[in-house]
Amino acid sequence: MQKQQIRKGFSKLNKEQKIDLTASYFENPAKAARELKSFWHNDPDIQKRLDEFAENTISNFSFPYGIAPNFVINGNMYLVPMVIEESSVIAAASNAAKFWSERGGFHAKVVSMTKVGQLHFIWEGDTDKLRSSMPEIREKLITEANHITTNMRKRGGGILDIELIDMSDKIENYYQLKASFDTIDSMGANFINSCLEEFGLQLKRFLKEEKRFTGKEKNCEIVMAILSNYTPECLVRTWVECDIEEFGEMDRDLSAQQFAEKFKMAVRIAQADEYRATTHNKGIMNGIDAVVLATGNDFRAIEGCAHTYAARNGKYTSLTNVIIEDGKFRYELSVPLALGTVGGLTSLHPLAKFSLELLNNPGAEQLMMIAAAAGLANNFSAVKSLTTKGIQVGHMKMHLYNILNHIGVTNKEKEKAVDYFSDKKVSFNNVKEMVTRLRKGNS
């Protein structure tokens, strides 16, 4: 591999030139270029569309697309599409889905769909005067944004409110207009940002034109206008519940009651300790992100929001909670998920479109409930494994495939290895030794 140098004008090259240039850094440029092209889609129209999602694109990066069947959510059965590169996640979701499908399934409820945007500005003047002008400012901004909001209003959404936030105690002369929006089935980023930029223009105009503002008060500096990915009010709640005795024998050494108590203790630990909470919530996001990706939504936004929400009371904690009462076990997850089922990649990416069709073309609310259920399913399986047989037994079995692929085995060798390790400990060295023995004819 050659040392890389700063290069100007890469974006101006055509795709072939970008590939040639990238491949020229490899020892065998022809092989590197072939490899990049081997991942192209065989339909040139689809490939063009994929290329246009980002910039300087030269290939596609494939992730596994799997199905977790048997998800019963509010009485409806779903095959849930999941895009994830980590072994065990789809298996864990499927196991939990099957387990809970026999115990009433997942229950889910969208608490609210409100999204947030902020106009950040610097203004020097009498705060009370600005605050008392807010009803007029609000009306002007909403009216002047009509040309942007017409269609959204027809669909039942639009601007919900605009409030003034005085942040001048934190940063001198710093204020926000914090606006809330209902974007119905779209994630709504473009809509919100367009509204906010219009608010910026109109706020400046309002201050200039109104006589009650004088001197410096007539000007404000718009620092930025952007949606917030923290949407604590775009909240979904999902839960599972059963009689404790329905757990039967989750583990040879634990009664149903002991299992429920141990499970609760594991969740209490995640509530008390941020090191454990981070991993606990990561297990939830395994399921959520996989659905978010499969449906062409923005997983960075979802991740950012979920973790801020987990720290909303000033301390990072678990997103889930267990209630054990009167012989019943209830496990619930509350998480904000600003998802969309129209716009963005949802209809442009062929597999995102496929996923939504598979889910019966849900609205944003339904998709929030499905993604949340997948998150709770993954987390339930993880905590169940952790509190019973441990995570490594199942995990390493699934990981066996990754190790075998890494070593580079034939299909026959893979079959023999899977059979051999059905009752043995999987580790990289054990697998390597077994394959070596197999090749020498000793296994």
Active-site residues, by number, are 86, 282, 298, 395
Cβ nearer to ligand MEV, comparing 22 with 378: 378
Neighbours of 121 (CB within 10 A): 21
Nearer of residues 81 and 283 to ligand MEV, judged by Cβ: 283
Alpha carbon distance 178, 262 (integer Å): 43
- Asked if 344 and 260 count as a contact pair (C-beta separation under 8 A), the reply is no
Which residue of 382, 396, 400, 434 would you call a contact of ligand MEV, by CB under 6 A?
A: 382
Identity of the residue, 282 or 416, whose beta carbon is nearer to ligand MEV in the bound complex: 282
Q: How far is the CB of 279 from ligand MEV (least distance, A)?
A: 4
Rounded to whole angstroms, the Cα distance separating 105 from 75 reads: 7
- Work out whether 144 is an interface residue with ligand MEV (CB under 6 A): no
Phi, psi of 164 (to 5 degrees): -90, 130
Strand-pairing partners, residue 322, are 331
Nearer to ligand MEV, 83 or 382 (CB): 382
How far apart are the C-alpha atoms of 111 and 239, rounded to whole Å? 13
CB nearer ligand MEV, residue 195 or residue 383: 383
Residues 16-50: b if buried by 16+ CB within 10 A, e if exposed: eebbbebbeeeeeeeebbeebeeebeeeeeebeeb
Establish if 279 lies at the interface with ligand MEV (CB under 6 A): yes
Q: Using CB atoms within 10 Å of the CB of residue 315, give its burial: 0 to 12 exposed, 13 to 18 middle, 19+ buried.
A: exposed
N- to C-terminal Cα distance for the chain?
Answer: 39
| Residue 83 Cβ vs ligand MEV, minimum distance, rounded to whole Å | 15
CB of 280 to ligand MEV, least distance (A): 5
391, 398, 407, 438: residue in contact with ligand MEV (rule CB under 6 A)? 391
Return the range that interacts with ligand MEV (CB under 6 A); candidates 102-110, 141-149, 167-175, 379-387. 379-387
Q: Do 204 and 222 meet the contact criterion of CB atoms below 8 Å apart?
A: yes
Give the nearest distance from C-beta 386 to ligand MEV in angstroms: 6
C-alpha 41/C-alpha 16 separation (Å) is: 15
Q: Rule CB under 6 A: is residue 384 a binding residue for ligand MEV?
A: no
CB 379 within 8 A of CB 336: no
Q: Which of 18, 131, 204, 282 binds ligand MEV (CB under 6 A)?
A: 282
The residue from 51, 86, 233, 413 that contacts ligand MEV (CB under 6 A) is 86
Taking contact as CB under 6 A, which single stretch among the options 14-22, 96-104, 356-364, 380-388 is the one that binds ligand MEV? 380-388
- Does 264 help bind ligand MEV (rule: CB under 6 A)? no
Please enumerate in sequence order all residues whose Cβ is within 8 A of that of 332, keeping only pairs 6 or more positions apart, or say none: 237, 238, 239, 240, 320, 321, 322, 323, 376
- Least separation in angstroms between residue 351's CB and ligand MEV is 23
Stretch that binds ligand MEV, among 44-52, 238-246, 247-255, 275-283 (CB under 6 A): 275-283
Asked if residue 394 binds ligand MEV (CB under 6 A), the reply is no
Cβ atoms of 393 and 88 closer than 8 Å: no
- Contacts with ligand MEV, residue ranges (CB under 6 A): 86, 279-280, 282-283, 286, 382-383, 386, 391
